Amino acid sequence: MRIELLHFASFREAAGRDRESREIADGTRVRELWSSLSREVPLFARFPSPPPAAVNREYVPPETVLRDGDEVAFLPPVAGG
Amino acid sequence: MSGMTPSKREPLSLRERGRGEGGGGAVPFLTDAPLDLPALLSEARSGDGALCLFVGVVRDHNEGRATVAIQYEAYGPMAESEMGRIADALRREFPETRVRMRHRVGRLSVGEPSVAIAAVAPHRAEAFAACRAAIDRVKATVPIWKKEFHPDGSSDWVDPTKHSEVEGRL
């Protein structure tokens, strides 16, 4: 199945792109997606546990199971204001 | 796979795109135009006795380093829906208070307003309390990031958590 992965701010710069469409295995959890990203993007490995994640624009826990067509984003520490 | 299936998540196709509440009305929370503070000041109605306006402005220094500008970036649709959630909670907690919230995105110079919160209520206690609660929640959960630019041309992403477990800038 495919998900749409978005990158923002420091994570966007580390990944070198702001979005990507990604093929993942059925049943993949948010935490597992982060683990595989950490192997590709060295700076992500500095976060041993997943940073806050959003699926379809809502915060979700790391054990959340992803579904086909989900919009997923891992969020660097927010700093509005 | 035991019982962790997300239950209430809706696919985006079923979701209204960006509720765009900004705390009320049809005006979005995020804007790339200068914040319209006079519009917020005109929110008071005849039954209101207090309008508390908080305005965050770009400071010329942070953590010992000079700052010349800040670039604000947002996950726009999620920021709007997160703001809607904050506004809903504030309406429940402060039923007599109306809260309006606006946040800039893009590059701002020192002294420019970056965020504005107006809380309007019959009495000042609720207005102050709702205004304080609103800005604290905006800073805690709304997906907005800022990059500070220094006089020497270097820049840093601001990380409010960096004094805890995650050190340095990523």
Q: Which residues are CB-contacts of B87 (< 8 A; sequence separation ≥ 6)?
A: B21, B22, B23, B24, B99, B101
Tokens found for residue A10: 């420091």
% chain B with pLDDT above 70: 81
In a domain, B135, yes or no: yes
Residue A10 contacts residue B170 (beta carbons within 8 Å): yes
pLDDT class of B154 with cuts at 50, 70, 90? very high
The stretch B66-80 carries a mean pLDDT of: 98
Half-sphere exposure of A12 (CA within 13 A, CB side): 14
Q: Please provide the average confidence, as pLDDT, over all residues in chain B.
A: 87
Q: How many domains does chain B have?
A: 1
pLDDT class of B12 with cuts at 50, 70, 90? confident
pLDDT class of B11 with cuts at 50, 70, 90? low
Q: Which residues are CB-contacts of B86 (< 8 A; sequence separation ≥ 6)?
A: B23, B101, B134, B137, B138, B141, B142
For CA atoms B85, B89, B92, B97, the dihedral sign is: negative
Helix H or strand E segment including A15: helix A9-15
For B128-146, give one letter per residue: b (16+ CB within 10 A) or e.
Answer: bbbbebbbebbbebbbbbb
Is B165 a residue whose pLDDT tops 70?
no
d(CA B128, CA B105): 25
- Kindly give the confidence (pLDDT) of every residue in chain A, 81 residues in length, as a single tens digit, with 9 standing for 90 and above: 999 999 999 999 999 999 999 999 999 999 999 999 999 998 899 887 899 999 999 999 999 999 999 999 999 999 999
pLDDT class of B14 with cuts at 50, 70, 90? low
Choose the closest CB to B4 out of A11, A65, A80. Answer: A65
For CA atoms A52, A57, A59, A64, the dihedral sign is: negative
In a domain, B11, yes or no: no
Match 């696919």 to its residue by tokens: B11
Is B122 a residue whose pLDDT tops 50?
yes
In a domain, B8, yes or no: no
Q: Which domains does chain A have, with CATH numbers?
A: 2-74 (3.10.20.30)
In a domain, B162, yes or no: no
Burial of B153 (0-12, 13-18, 19+ CB in 10 A): exposed
Q: What pTM, to 2 d.p., does this model score?
A: 0.88
Question: Is B113 part of the contact surface with chain A (CB cutoff 8 Å)?
Answer: no
Q: Looking at residue A48, what is its pLDDT?
A: 74
CATH number of the domain enclosing B146: 3.90.1170.40
Alpha carbon dihedral B123, B52, B83, B68, in 10-degree steps, equals: -170
Which residues in chain A touch residue B141, judged by CB atoms under 8 angstroms apart?
59, 78
Residue A72 contacts residue A54 (beta carbons within 8 Å): yes
In a domain, B120, yes or no: yes
Is B166 a residue whose pLDDT tops 50?
no
In a domain, B96, yes or no: yes
Which residues in chain B touch residue A43, judged by CB atoms under 8 angstroms apart?
170
Chain A residue closest in CA terms to B78 = A57
CB pairs A-B closer than 8 Å: 109
Please give the residue range of the domain that contains residue B113. Answer: 36-154
Question: Is B1 part of the contact surface with chain A (CB cutoff 8 Å)?
Answer: yes
What is this model's ipTM?
0.95
